[in-house]
């Protein structure tokens, strides 16, 4: 997968998180509103951070920005798990997003590990 495809994948993840947030029973449960707000922020920010990372000024800057993106993805996954366990919507609406979040996290963990090893060699 190239960088453009990964960027599109992150944006689509954000869109899917947004659509899930729209489906949450925010009028019925105040906690659903809270988690919807949090997921909306974290789920979309992952896709917003990637173009910034791609335009980083150095490898170190790129690595830092990827780590911020990774934090957003981890937060998204935690919020998705919460939604899943609270049973706000059918599990089938949440499970694919949990899987996608896990896959994206794995991609960026591998990338940050590789870059960290290169940074350590260069130092």
Q: What is the DSSP letter of 58?
A: S
Q: Are the beta carbons of 26 and 33 closer than 8 angstroms?
A: yes
Residue pair 42/72 in contact (Cβ under 8 Å)? The answer is: yes
Q: What pTM does this model have?
A: 0.93
Residue 89 backbone zone (phi > 0: left; psi -120 to 50: alpha; other: beta): beta
Q: List per-residue pLDDT tens for the chain, 123 residues long.
A: 899 999 999 999 999 999 999 999 999 999 999 999 999 999 999 999 999 999 999 988 999 999 999 999 999 999 999 999 999 999 999 999 999 999 999 999 999 999 888 777 776
Q: pLDDT value at position 3?
A: 92
């Amino acid at each position: 997968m190239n960088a453009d495809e990964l960027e599109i994948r992150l944006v689509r993840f954000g869109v899917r998180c947004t659509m899930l947030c729209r489906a949450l029973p925010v009028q019925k449960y105040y906690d659903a509103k809270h988690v919807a707000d949090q997921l909306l922020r974290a789920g979309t920010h992952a896709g917003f951070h990637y173009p910034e990372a791609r335009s980083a000024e150095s490898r170190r800057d790129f690595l830092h920005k990827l780590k911020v993106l990774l934090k957003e993805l981890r937060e998204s996954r935690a919020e998705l798990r919460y939604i899943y366990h609270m049973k706000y919507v059918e599990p089938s609406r949440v499970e694919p997003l949990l899987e996608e979040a896990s896959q994206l996290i794995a991609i960026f963990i591998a990338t940050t590990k590789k870059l960290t090893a290169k940074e350590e060699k260069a130092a």
